């Protein structure tokens, strides 16, 4: 029997842990911001961790990346100018650039090394990095949103890590207000908002803060994501000058090549569990 | 620093594992069929395992039990006679007995010890065991379905373990044909059908076999379930003499006390991921 290698992420506050069997460590580096590690797993393809936390695996990242992008893009009548905050692995950027309406996709990621490592180990996620519509800025996303020219984006996607350390500000009302200003008269904001099972209070807070920042309506999207704590994840979507039921269904029906999202998922993903309904 | 105790379930075929931090082992016994263990976890309440596999935890079993029952019960116009195969922890029975239309709920579980242990350690799940409408039969569920008087049930719920060992037959077309015969002119069958991420082929097979057994229409329900492999689970529902879109919405809207299911979840849970759509 040969030695077994397992990567384990402990969800300390929840007394739970996820482990993935590893064939080998492909890469390990200390960037100016964090430890970036790449593993070849036995059954989930390549795995990236940042400071020991799973960011993505080949096998299941389609769930997160499709749900962070397509519902928001199809909720906007004409999403031409897109800002991605975080998203260093470029999986979100790839999904955004599937949309022919998009004319500019700017990605503002603090840690350039995440993107460079993704280019090497997740070539599929980075296959559209050379698209002439994409722009990369390796700097602080909060400052970028605060300094953005008012009305300069149609869609802002916050593809961040957990609300600790540098990412904590990405969950605050001031940041949402900056996004509100940076969006045009018709704008959509979508932000990853953690696990419904483990972080229901954070989701409620996120909804309240987006409303407080001036958005007309807010809905949370629910979807599975094995590699994240509890296997159940969410993104919260806020609309400015866009009807709550706005949805370009025909365009969604024509989108090809997706593994999870399709037109009928738009409404289905917004059905909250009973414990997160407002009247509950 | 005190010693830490962790329970770990390895999903060997998938090179993954889930661990829960444990305070103490509350109970351990060898029944005629399996090893039954009860743990007090740090953050998920009481945990039951059978032969080392998670059956349920206090904290997240509502997801599975609500989704194994309410969509099927509300899809039937008048579910009076219900058969539960498996379901020894009685969580499914409890949900079934929330429905005032139900006149008889027969539970056929192979291992009486599972039910006795649940009565001791999961009193909430067993709170309706004394309901005059409930009947317990501790015997083989496959034989029970085969020998049932034709047309004797309105609803059959297969709340089984994984398709290995004694439960393997519960995933076969012969068993589904026996259920078809045991159902009345209007009948609904629902069976747990494993993880969409890890067992997509099994879900497709289950759908085909239910169609093959004579059912008019088949839909799979998708829902989160942290404690089961991948955190994403399914149940497959088949209708006999019942319209595909049949749904007692008003009754569903009046159901109180649920944590996950509500009327809008009926259709939302039946929206399959793109990779499981028939045309994919």
User: Which among A23, A70, A52, A7 is positioned nearest to A235, based on CA atoms?
Assistant: A70
SS3 content of chain B, % helix, strand, coil (to 5): 30, 30, 40
Does the beta-carbon distance from A274 to B261 stay under 8 Å? yes
Percent of chain A that is helix, strand, coil (3-state, to 5): 30, 30, 40
Q: State pLDDT tens for residues A244-264.
A: 999 999 999 999 999 999 999
How far apart (Å, rounded) are the C-alpha atoms in residues B14 and B78? Answer: 41
Q: Give the residue from A96, A93, A89 showing the smallest Cα distance to A118.
A: A89
C-alpha B242/C-alpha B220 separation (Å) is 16
Pick from B6, B8, B197: CB nearest A226: B197
Interchain pair A264, B275: CB under 8 A: no
Q: Which residues of A are catalytic?
A: 159
Any idea which residue has 């600790």 for tokens? A164
Residue A234 distance to chain B (closest CA, Å): 12
Q: Which residue has the tokens 């090179």?
A: B15
Residue of A nearest to B253 (CA): A274
Which residues of B lie closer than 8 Å to A, measured between beta carbons? Answer: 6, 8, 10, 13-21, 41-44, 59-60, 196-197, 222, 224-226, 230-232, 258-262, 264-265, 267-269, 271, 273-275, 277
Domain A5-57, CATH homologous superfamily name and number: Spermidine synthase, tetramerisation domain (2.30.140.10)
Give the H/E segment covering residue A180: helix A173-182
| Optimal mutation site among B98, B226, B265, B270, interface A, most CBs of chain A within 10 A | B226
Location of each CATH 3.40.50.150 domain in chain A = 61-276
> Does the model's pTM come out above 0.95?
yes
> Distance between CA atoms of B36 and B110, rounded to whole angstroms?
13
DSSP code of residue B93? H
Per residue in B16-66, pLDDT (tens digit) is: 999 999 999 999 999 999 999 999 999 999 999 999 999 999 999 999 999
CB atoms within 10 A of CB A216: 12
The DSSP output letter for B99 is -
List every span in chain A annotated with CATH 2.30.140.10: 5-57
Alpha helix (H) residue ranges in chain B: 61-75, 91-96, 112-121, 141-147, 173-182, 200-212, 249-254, 265-268
pLDDT in tens, A181-231: 999 999 999 999 999 999 999 999 999 999 999 999 999 999 999 999 999
Q: What are the structure tokens assigned to A185, written together?
A: 């008269």
Residue with tokens 């242990």: B117
ipTM of the complex: 0.96
Which pLDDT tens digits describe chain B residue by residue (280 residues)?
A: 678 999 999 999 999 999 999 999 999 999 999 999 999 999 999 999 999 999 999 999 999 999 999 999 999 999 999 999 999 999 999 999 999 999 999 999 999 999 999 999 999 999 999 999 999 999 999 999 999 999 999 999 999 988 887 788 899 999 999 999 999 999 999 999 999 999 999 999 999 999 999 999 999 999 999 999 999 999 999 999 999 999 999 999 999 999 999 999 999 999 999 999 987 6
Residue B38, Cβ density class (10 Å: 0-12 exposed, 13-18 middle, ≥19 buried): buried
What is the torsional sign of CA A54, A59, A62, A63?
negative
Would you tell me which CATH number, out of the four given (3.30.565.10, 3.30.70.100, 3.40.50.720, 3.40.50.150), belongs to the domain B61-276? 3.40.50.150
């Amino acid at each position: 029997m040969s030695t077994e290698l397992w990567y384990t992420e402990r969800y300390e506050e929840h007394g739970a842990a996820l482990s993935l069997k590893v064939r080998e460590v492909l890469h390990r580096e200390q960037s100016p911001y964090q430890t970036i590690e790449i593993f070849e797993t036995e059954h989930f393809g390549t795995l990236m961790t940042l400071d020991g936390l799973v960011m993505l695996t080949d096998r299941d990242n389609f769930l997160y990346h499709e749900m962070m992008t397509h519902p928001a893009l199809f909720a906007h009548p004409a999403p031409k100018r897109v800002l991605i905050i975080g998203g260093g692995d470029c999986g979100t950027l790839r999904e955004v650039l599937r949309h022919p309406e998009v004319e500019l996709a700017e990605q503002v990621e603090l840690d350039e090394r995440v993107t460079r490592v993704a280019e090497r180990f997740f070539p599929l996620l980075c296959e559209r990095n050379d698209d002439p519509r994409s722009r990369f800025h390796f700097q602080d996303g909060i400052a970028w949103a605060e300094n953005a020219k008012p009305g300069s984006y149609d869609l802002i996607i916050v593809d961040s890590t957990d609300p600790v350390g540098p990412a904590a500000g990405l969950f605050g009302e001031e940041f949402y207000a900056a996004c509100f200003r940076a969006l045009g008269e018709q704008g959509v904001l979508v932000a990853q908002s953690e696990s419904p099972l483990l972080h229901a209070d954070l989701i409620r807070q996120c909804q309240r803060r987006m409303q407080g920042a001036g958005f007309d309506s807010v809905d949370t999207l629910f979807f599975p994501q094995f590699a994240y704590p509890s296997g159940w994840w969410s993104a919260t979507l806020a609309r400015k000058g866009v009807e709550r039921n706005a949805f370009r269904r025909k365009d969604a029906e024509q989108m090809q090549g997706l593994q999870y999202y399709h037109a009928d998922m738009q409404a289905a993903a917004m059905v909250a569990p009973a414990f997160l309904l407002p009247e509950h």
